[in-house]
C-alpha cells in the first residue's frame, strides 16, 4: 500500500500531482533530480525526507571521487 503524497504534511495538492506525474516518466536519480522534475519546494522535500521517502536517493547527480 502506498501512502498518497498529499497526505504528507508539507506536501500540497500541486506538489503531490507534480510528483506523481514526474514519477511516471522514470525513476529519480537524486533529490536534485526529484526537485527539478517535480518542481517541489524546500518544504515538500523536507517533508518527504522526514517520512524517509528519500533515504535511498543521493543529494545530487554529481559523482563523488574519494
Domains: count for the chain: 1
Q: pTM of the full predicted structure?
A: 0.80
What's the pLDDT score for residue 8?
Answer: 87
Provide the terminal-to-terminal Cα distance of the chain, rounded to the nearest Å.
Answer: 38
The CATH number given to whatever domain includes residue 33 is: 1.10.150.870
Residue 33 pLDDT level (bands cut at 50, 70, 90): very high
Per-residue pLDDT at 62 exceeds 70: yes
Q: What is the DSSP string of 21-43?
A: HHHHT----SHHHHHHHHT--HH
Whether the CB-CB separation of 51 and 8 falls below 8 Å is answered with yes
- Domain extent, residue 3, equals 1-66
Could you tell me the three cell numbers for 7? 497526505
Per-residue pLDDT at 49 exceeds 90: yes
Please write the tens of the pLDDT for every residue from 8-29.
Answer: 889 989 999 999 899 999 999 9
Amino acid at each position: 500500500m502506498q501512502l498518497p503524497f498529499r497526505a504528507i504534511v508539507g506536501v500540497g495538492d500541486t506538489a503531490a500531482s507534480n510528483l506523481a506525474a514526474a514519477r511516471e516518466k522514470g525513476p529519480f536519480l537524486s533529490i536534485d533530480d526529484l526537485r527539478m522534475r517535480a518542481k517541489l519546494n524546500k518544504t515538500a522535500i523536507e517533508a518527504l525526507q522526514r517520512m524517509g521517502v528519500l533515504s535511498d536517493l543521493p543529494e545530487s547527480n554529481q559523482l563523488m571521487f574519494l
